[in-house]
Amino acid sequence: MFTGIVQDMGTVRRVDRTRGDLRFEIQTNLNLQAIPPGASICCSGCCLTVVEKTADSFSVDVSAETLGKTSLGEWKEGTAVNLEPSLKMGDELGGHFVFGHVDAVVRILEIRPEGDSRRLKIELPAAFRHYLAKKGSVALDGISLTVNEVEGDYFGVNIIPHTWEQTTLGGRQPDEKLNMEIDMLARYVTRALEVKSA
């Protein structure tokens, strides 16, 4: 489990396609001494398992299932990756509960300045419209964000300068893809209401 507060922006150092699964080696400034093999790291919204590590990098295996449900299939050497190690008891919960289970790959429709911030307009697939609400939470590429508006086939988020500079969002352009995870609380509330009305 994670919080959606990115702790480092890593870089894909190597892509190994010679295995049964795809393996990525990711360079990072995270304290890898505190992260043992088998631990989970949220990598741009995907919960992945550390299978190997060096002093400044770790490797993860990515299955065909994950590649089919996320944007990871587009990663190549040099791709920037948002990183967050899993929560430990007593850690501050600065964002919201993020599980690293991607619900959909969505596109950026528009990026426009708004004061010192940026307002992003993100496509919203019909199957997920009932899960998002104004002032609710959503995770995009592993970043905990507040939903500013929900309008039919899109929703909006405001990105403050710190988040723009310290995450991969600062390098994004319209029409690029993001991994979206809806808020688990919204999922369970919606399910409870569906069961109650059935």
Q: Which domain holds residue 39?
A: 8-85
Question: Is 95 a member of any domain?
Answer: no
Q: Tell which residue, 71, 57, 101, has the closest CA to residue 172.
A: 71
Give yes or no for residue 187 having a pLDDT over 80: no
For the beta carbon of residue 196, count every other beta carbon within 10 angstroms: 7
Domain end (from 51, 85, 119)? 85
Same structural domain, 75 and 13 = yes
Residues 122 and 180 occupy one common structural domain: yes
CATH number at residue 78: 2.40.30.20
**Could you tell me if residue 120 is inside a domain?**
yes
Lowest pLDDT segment from 90-94, 113-117, 171-175, 189-193: 189-193
Question: CA 142 to CA 181: how far, in whole Å?
Answer: 8
Label residue 159 by pLDDT band (50, 70, 90): very high
Half-sphere exposure of 72 (CA within 13 A, CB side): 31
| Average model confidence (pLDDT) across the chain | 93
Report in angstroms the alpha-carbon separations of 157 from 109, 133, 146, 185.
12, 12, 6, 19
pTM of this structure: 0.92
**pLDDT of 88 above 80:** no
Overall number of domains in the chain: 2
Residues 119 and 192 grouped into a single domain: yes
Are 83 and 9 contacting, i.e. CB atoms less than 8 angstroms apart? yes
Q: Which tens digit of pLDDT belongs to each residue from 28-84?
A: 999 999 999 999 999 999 999 999 999 999 999 999 999 999 999 999 999 999 999
Contacts of 75 (CB under 8 A, 6+ apart): 12, 15, 24, 81
Same domain, 81 and 121: no
Indicate the residue among 56, 85, 114 that finishes a domain.
85
Across residues 119-143, what is the average pLDDT? 95
